[in-house]
Structure 1
Amino acid sequence: MVTSPRVTGMAMAGQLAGTRRQRQCGESAPSHGSLLHSGHGLLPFRGLGQGTLRDATRAVAGTADGRRQCAATEIFLAFSRDLHVDLVPATGREGCTTMTSTMTMIRAEPWAPHAAAATESTSDPQNRRYTTTANGTLSCCGGWQFVYGGVASGHRYRISWEGVWRDLAEPLDALVGHVYWGDIATDCYAPGTATVWDYVCAEIDEGVARFSAQLIAPEGVSVVTVRNSLRWTAGGSVVMSEPTVLDLGAHQQRAPVRVAVATGTEASCREPRADVQQCVDHYLGLAQQACQQEGAELVALPEICLQWRVPGHPYDGAVEVPGPETDGFADLARAHDAVIVVGLHERCGHAVYNSAVVIDADGSIAGIYHKVHLASTEALNGILPGDGFPVMETGVGRVGSTICMDSSAAESARMIGLNGAEFLVLPIMGDHRASTWHLGPPEFDEERWRCIQRTRAMDNQLCMVVARNMGRGSCIIDRSGEVLAYNDGNQELVVADVALDDGFRKWNGGCFRQVNWRQRRPHLYGAYASDDPAATRILRA
């Protein structure tokens, strides 16, 4: 829960009561309210809709060091701890009763990509325990795989197991879980382009790796293979439980989110403004147009738009949040069940920040982002930098923000991605990389600009919502890098529908988002979070 609208260093979670997004059937209704038996009574269990993501996300803010689990990975994890699952009724969102069922295993078998890499594998079927031991070489790779039948295409499955490990220096590196939607040979490590596969991520806790995922069975499959592997270690072992595969019923996709970037035309953006109130009136009108005429559910406004083109020092026009300058946007959000992100100079006591205020669909402040990386002149004008990269849970999903110069530091967007965002809203005046690379007046280089924004979307597996103060270059880009909407300077706003359940897959059948976060090896990234890397030392020479 959000305890203060000024929390900037932690991920924020909020209730989504009463919003249009909740009333839609796009969330995974049948599984909400499904019940699991834990031996301590029946527990409510939410599916992979927004409720689960709110529960499952424990986002990391600030420095993402190599020993902390990022929220992007934790989103793949479900909560139960080796729960015993029974066949029980579940009440869906519409009040109907559905059933969940545990799948029965067909067989368990050792696997290895090559005889020279094979691990030592033993089993205790009576106790449903399967042991994998390293073979004495660092190139060892292998383990156990389990085949289940009766899979229904389009159903959502919760797949989980535990592995008790010993003598592993880097268990997140050494232990890996996969699901292959089909019957995979025991020496297969590259199933080709016809097989869809998924990672199953693990939470590491004092010698236990808890693997868990909720996955959608693709079309045309009736069998699933669950694989647990030990790799990249000469010693150590893991004893794993037999996986539980729970059928949660037919999956229902979430409805797309209609996103609008409201900036005004390039010509109107050049006009001077007398005071803050004139800015409020102007951008509130644009936001109203987005909500009333376009049906926008997420509206992004430019950087410091409530002080844009107003003469004077930032101290002179800074406003408190919440306050009369933001109340109109809150009323608009409430009236249209829309999330609105407003850029402004914010006064917090004696401090002034360059802020992005995220107003939720019920009119409350979901959270405030304070710009972390200040522009060179801004860093000397008295503005205070922020100290974290929060992600706010809102009526349209998980929303994070960076501002202008933040875009130049790759760590900024990376932190928003690591903290589990689905949308990165970027209020921005411009990017010095998307201009001339020599002395002289700046010139907007749209080719470079598009490259920057598309790369941010793909690298961090989120939708970029870019609101440029001059209008031109404002855009909406999905996580595949596709430019869904782009303002050439002649539009007051641009609009696009963004699919949350987009189903993007790599050419080889893997999930882009899973691969993006599971491939990371944080224990090797010391320089990334170092305050004195070689690149800085070279500058001192």
Structure 2
Amino acid sequence: MWKRTLKYVAIFALIGFMLANGALADDPAPDGWTCETPREEIRPHFKCDATPGTADSVLSIRADDREGLMGMWAITIPVQGQEHYRFTVDRQTQGIAFPRRTAIARIIWLNDANEKVMRAEPSNLSYRPGERPRAEPEFPKLVSRSDGWDRLEGIYIAPPHATHARIELHFRWGEPHSTVRWRRSKLEVCAAPDPRTVRLATIHYRPQAGRTPQEKREQFAPLIAVAAQQKADLIVLPETLTYYQSGGSYADAAETIPGPSTDYFAKLAQQHDTYIVAGLMERDGHLIYNVAVLLGPEGAIVGKYRKVALPRGEIEAGITPGTEYPVFQTRFGKVAMMVCYDGFFPEVARELSNRGAEVIAWPVWGCNPLLAAARACENHVFLVSSTYTEFSADWAQSAVYGRDGTTLAHAEDWGSIAMAEVDLGKPAIWQSLGDFQSQIEPHRPVVPPVP
């Protein structure tokens, strides 16, 4: 009798443990889908529901009262190497503080042996020299929100030897009682996207002559014309160009925005059908800001950025720091700006890239060139700097930097222009990392506020 009692106690204890870990509570998986976890002791609860009024299934993953549970829905489907595919999925979260980290989708390219395959030949994608990386996972990005659902999306080219794609819908490190729901997961053949080619230019010039803002700004007109003749889509000018060697104070050079200098550069942008970034001083009532202004081909201000990180001299002169990190849509992509001392602090470029910046224009008096490379590399953005520093000084350069931090073009002589043609739609692929830029959001850490 006692043996039978112990047997039932053991069975009920095992059932209790499995229920607590979600092992017995899962719904049957839809055809082809599996419920997986890296370790059974952190397994969440999996559930499949139909969306009311539709034929869609909703794949849910939910935590119990424990933290840090991990699991995913996964399915493997056939693909054709070298074809382009569009992946889409809808995501809804509840009780999750950082969906960008906890609720992610991945795509892994596999061969018939269920092994990861190599990427395409280097001519088809952007690689570091001498590398042909393995095809690491793709990370679809958040592209829109509607009716409480997020849309994640990405367009990819299947590697040459890929025969299957494994789609994973993750729940990682979830808070207790939190839930992620997935629906409408699709991987479909699509047309190859059009190239997003853009010509990025920087002007290397010191406006030493003159004293007034008008005299300073007019010196850039012929250089802008030359850059435009070379079909520049974006032309970056240096910092505080109406103040440089004017003999006056920052306040003396400050203007309202819109104002005379922005009107002048907006007219040039329209005349040459291009975008211009000019470093200026702004007066807003009793406050003075160090700004970068983006002027567009329509002859108007697209947007402005107020320098956030101020050096001692500007603080002592009574300049006010900015507080926002705007990103502006142009006809070729998303552009943001930072100014000089901002480059010493990784937070500025990171906040701009967090908001979708693909190109960062950087009017800069002078800076360590390693910081320019770092800001481009750590965010996988293109960065265009325009400086007052002699090239021979081995300090800040007027240059265009690639997503991996390499210098694509630089100017050496005063009055010269450096330009690089880049494709914003072509990912930079790294050995062992793949498309790192797409992994920044799901992988970057959560940083608590400084006490």
Under TM normalisation by the shorter chain, which class is it?
Answer: 0.7 to 0.9
Kindly indicate whether the alpha-carbon contact (under 8 Å) linking 1:184 and 1:225 is maintained by their aligned counterparts in 2.
no
Residue 178 of structure 1 aligns with which residue?
Answer: 106
Q: Equivalent residue of 1:333, what SS?
A: helix
Work out the CA distance in 2 between the residues paired with 1:203 and 1:322.
32
Change (3 A) 1:505 1:469: same
Kindly indicate whether the alpha-carbon contact (under 8 Å) linking 1:226 and 1:243 is maintained by their aligned counterparts in 2.
no
Change (3 A) 1:150 1:327: same
Structure 2 residue corresponding to 1:468, chosen from 378, 387, 390 = 387
Work out the CA distance in 2 between the residues paired with 1:197 and 1:503.
13
Residue 493 of structure 1 aligns with which residue?
Answer: 417
Change (3 A) 1:128 1:388: closer
Residue 401 of structure 2 aligns with which residue?
Answer: 477
Residue 170 of structure 2 aligns with which residue?
Answer: 229
Work out the CA distance in 1 between the residues paired with 2:377 and 2:38.
31
Alignment of structure 1 residues 25-424 onto 2, 5 Å: 107-113=32-38, 119=44, 121=46, 128-132=57-61, 140-149=69-78, 153-162=82-91, 173-182=101-110, 194-201=134-141, 210=150, 212-220=152-160, 221-233=162-174, 236=177, 238=179, 240-245=181-186, 247=188, 249-264=190-205, 269=206, 271-292=208-229, 294-424=230-360
Change (3 A) 1:185 1:232: farther
Alignment deviations for residues 429-450 of structure 1 (CA, whole Å, 9 cap, x no partner) = 113xxxxxxxxxxxxxxxxx23
Residue 29 of structure 1 aligns with which residue?
Answer: none
Residue 430 of structure 2 aligns with which residue?
Answer: 506
Work out the CA distance in 1 between the residues paired with 2:421 and 2:144.
37
Kindly indicate whether the alpha-carbon contact (under 8 Å) linking 2:390 and 2:412 is maintained by their aligned counterparts in 1.
yes
Q: Equivalent residue of 1:107, what SS?
A: coil
Work out the CA distance in 2 between the residues paired with 1:515 and 1:290.
35
Work out the CA distance in 1 between the residues paired with 2:102 and 2:286.
50
Work out the CA distance in 2 between the residues paired with 1:234 and 1:258.
45
Q: Equivalent residue of 1:253, what SS?
A: coil
Residue 526 of structure 1 aligns with which residue?
Answer: 449
Residue 458 of structure 1 aligns with which residue?
Answer: 377
Change (3 A) 1:378 1:152: same
Change (3 A) 1:135 1:506: farther
Change (3 A) 1:249 1:318: same
Work out the CA distance in 2 between the residues paired with 1:139 and 1:384.
43
| AA partner of residue 152 (structure 2) | S
Q: CA shift at 1:500, angstroms?
A: 0.3
Q: Equivalent residue of 1:516, what SS?
A: helix
Change (3 A) 1:207 1:139: farther
Work out the CA distance in 2 between the residues paired with 1:328 and 1:204.
37
Work out the CA distance in 2 between the residues paired with 1:204 and 1:321.
32
Superposition TM-score, scaled by structure 2 size: 0.76
Q: CA shift at 1:150, angstroms?
A: 5.0
Q: CA shift at 1:164, angstroms?
A: 6.0
Residue 123 of structure 2 aligns with which residue?
Answer: none
| AA partner of residue 450 (structure 1) | P
Q: Equivalent residue of 1:358, what SS?
A: strand
Q: Equivalent residue of 2:280, what SS?
A: strand
Change (3 A) 1:353 1:159: same
Kindly indicate whether the alpha-carbon contact (under 8 Å) linking 2:207 and 2:244 is maintained by their aligned counterparts in 1.
no
Change (3 A) 1:112 1:253: same
Kindly indicate whether the alpha-carbon contact (under 8 Å) linking 1:159 and 1:246 is maintained by their aligned counterparts in 2.
yes
Kindly indicate whether the alpha-carbon contact (under 8 Å) linking 2:209 and 2:216 is maintained by their aligned counterparts in 1.
no
Q: Equivalent residue of 1:481, what SS?
A: coil
471-480 or 419-428, which deviates more: 471-480
Kindly indicate whether the alpha-carbon contact (under 8 Å) linking 1:147 and 1:225 is maintained by their aligned counterparts in 2.
yes
Question: Considering only CA atoms, is the larger Rg found in Structure 1 or Structure 2?
Answer: 2
Q: Equivalent residue of 1:425, what SS?
A: strand
Q: CA RMSD in A?
A: 3.5
Work out the CA distance in 2 between the residues paired with 1:176 and 1:296.
37
Work out the CA distance in 2 between the residues paired with 1:203 and 1:226.
18
505-514 or 414-423, which deviates more: 505-514
Work out the CA distance in 1 between the residues paired with 2:180 and 2:265.
55
Q: CA shift at 1:310, angstroms?
A: 0.9
Kindly indicate whether the alpha-carbon contact (under 8 Å) linking 1:177 and 1:211 is maintained by their aligned counterparts in 2.
no
Work out the CA distance in 2 between the residues paired with 1:497 and 1:206.
36
Alignment deviations for residues 449-472 of structure 1 (CA, whole Å, 9 cap, x no partner) = 232111101112211111112353
Matched, 1:515 2:439: yes
| AA partner of residue 368 (structure 1) | K
Alignment deviations for residues 343-387 of structure 1 (CA, whole Å, 9 cap, x no partner) = 112233333322111001211100111222222121122323222
Structure 2, unpaired ranges of 5+: 1-29, 119-132, 392-396
Structure 1, unpaired ranges of 5+: 1-104, 432-448, 528-532, 534-541
Kindly indicate whether the alpha-carbon contact (under 8 Å) linking 1:171 and 1:204 is maintained by their aligned counterparts in 2.
no
Q: CA shift at 1:156, angstroms?
A: 4.0
| AA partner of residue 477 (structure 1) | Y
